[in-house]
Structure 1
Amino acid sequence: MYPERLWAVHAESRSARGLRGARRAGALSIASILSLPDRLVAALQSADKGTRLLATLLLCGALALPSGAIIGLLGVTYGVPTVLALAMAYLVLRSVMVGLVALIAVILLLPFAALPVDVGFAPTLLDLVIGALFFVWLSRIVSHRDGEFVAWSPTLLVLTFVFLALFSFVNGLGHAELTANVLRHVGEILLSILLFLLVINAVRTAGQLRLLVRALIVAGTLAAAIGIILYVLPTQLTVRLLSSLSVLRYPSGNAVLRYIESDPSRALRATSTSVDPNVLGGALIFVTTLATAQLFAERPLIARRWLVCFIGLLVLCLILTFSRGSFFGLAVALFFLALLRYPRLLWIGLAALVLIYLLPWTQTYVNHFISGLRGEDLATQMRFGEYKDALILISRYPWFGVGFAGTPEVDTYLGVSNVYLLIAENMGIVGLLVFLATMGTHLVGILRALRSPASAARVSATTLGLYLAIVGALAGGLLDHYLFNVVFPHASSLLWLTVGLGTVSLRLDQREPAGHDRPLVEELFER
Structure 2
Amino acid sequence: MIGLTAVAVGLAGGAAVAFGPIWAGFAALAALALGYLILLYTGVGLAIVVLVATVLPFGTLPFKAVITPNFLELSLLSLLAVWLLRLLTHPDDSLELTRLGLPLIGFLGITLFSLILGSNASPDSLTLHNYFKFVLAALFFFSMANCVRTPAQARLALRLLLIGGGVAALIGLVLFVLPDQLALQILVALGRIGYPTSGRVLRYVADDPSGVERAIGFAVDPNSFGGMLALIGAFAITQAVAERPLLARGWAYALAGSLALATFLTQSRGALGGLVVGALYVAALRYRRLWWPVIGAAALVLTLFLGFGIGASFVTRVAEGVQFRDQANQMRLDEYQNAIEIIRRYPVFGIGFGSSGPDIDLGVGVSSIYLALAERVGLVGLLWFIGVIAAFFARSLPAMRAAFAQHDDERGAALLGLQAAIAAALAVGLLDHYFFNIEFSHMVALFWGVIGLALVLEAMCFAEQPATAAMERVL
TM (normalized to structure 2)?
Answer: 0.90
What is the alpha-carbon distance in structure 2 between the residues aligned to residue 262 and residue 299 of structure 1?
43
Task: Find the partner of 2:397 among 447, 454, 458.
Answer: 447
What is the alpha-carbon distance in structure 2 between the residues aligned to residue 451 and residue 463 of structure 1?
9
Task: Find the partner of 1:310 among 241, 247, 255.
Answer: 255
User: What corresponds to 2:81 in structure 1?
Assistant: 135
Deviation at 1:377, TM superposition (A): 0.6
Task: Read off the aligned partner of 2:448 and give its amino acid letter.
Answer: W
Task: Read off the aligned partner of 1:304 and give its amino acid letter.
Answer: R
Task: Read off the aligned partner of 1:123 and give its amino acid letter.
Answer: P
User: What corresponds to 1:112 in structure 2?
Assistant: 58
User: What corresponds to 2:299 in structure 1?
Assistant: 354
User: What corresponds to 1:38 in structure 2?
Assistant: none
The answer to whether the 8 Å contact 2:110/2:377 transfers is yes
* 1:498–1:453 CA distance, 2 compared to 1 (3 A): closer
Which consecutive unaligned segments of at least 5 residues does structure 1 have? 1-33, 36-65
Task: Read off the aligned partner of 1:517 and give its amino acid letter.
Answer: T
Deviation at 1:315, TM superposition (A): 1.1
Deviation at 1:518, TM superposition (A): 5.8
Deviation at 1:189, TM superposition (A): 1.2
Matched, 1:208 2:160: no
Task: Find the partner of 1:342 among 252, 265, 287.
Answer: 287
Matched, 1:492 2:440: no
Task: Read off the aligned partner of 2:175 and give its amino acid letter.
Answer: L
**Cα RMSD (Å):** 2.6
Q: Deviations over 1:76-134 (max 9, x none)?
A: 75555443333223322333221111000110111001113344211111110111111
Q: Deviations over 1:354-406 (max 9, x none)?
A: 22333354332222212111211100111111000000001100001111124
User: What corresponds to 1:467 in structure 2?
Assistant: 419
What is the alpha-carbon distance in structure 2 between the residues aligned to residue 172 and residue 318 of structure 1?
36
Task: Find the partner of 2:339 among 387, 390, 397.
Answer: 390
What is the alpha-carbon distance in structure 2 between the residues aligned to residue 81 and residue 358 of structure 1?
53
Matched, 1:156 2:102: yes
Task: Find the partner of 2:467 among 505, 511, 516.
Answer: 516
Task: Find the partner of 2:111 among 159, 162, 165.
Answer: 165
Percent identity at matched positions?
37
Task: Find the partner of 1:227 among 172, 176, 181.
Answer: 172
TM (normalized to structure 1)?
Answer: 0.81
The answer to whether the 8 Å contact 2:176/2:215 transfers is yes
The 5 A counterparts of 1:44-83 are: 78=24, 80-83=26-29
Task: Find the partner of 2:202 among 233, 253, 257.
Answer: 257
User: What corresponds to 2:141 in structure 1?
Assistant: 196
- The higher radius of gyration belongs to 1
* 1:88–1:451 CA distance, 2 compared to 1 (3 A): closer
Matched, 1:369 2:369: no
Task: Find the partner of 1:423 among 366, 369, 373.
Answer: 373
User: What corresponds to 1:101 in structure 2?
Assistant: 47
Task: Find the partner of 1:480 among 407, 419, 432.
Answer: 432
Deviation at 1:138, TM superposition (A): 1.2
The answer to whether the 8 Å contact 1:140/1:146 transfers is no
Task: Read off the aligned partner of 1:212 and give its amino acid letter.
Answer: A
What is the alpha-carbon distance in structure 2 between the residues aligned to residue 351 and residue 142 of structure 1?
55
User: What corresponds to 1:400 in structure 2?
Assistant: 349
* 1:196–1:443 CA distance, 2 compared to 1 (3 A): same
What is the alpha-carbon distance in structure 1 between the residues aligned to residue 224 and residue 264 of structure 2?
13
* 1:69–1:395 CA distance, 2 compared to 1 (3 A): closer
What is the alpha-carbon distance in structure 1 between the residues aligned to residue 372 and residue 92 of structure 2?
37
SS across alignment from 1:290: helix
User: What corresponds to 1:59 in structure 2?
Assistant: none
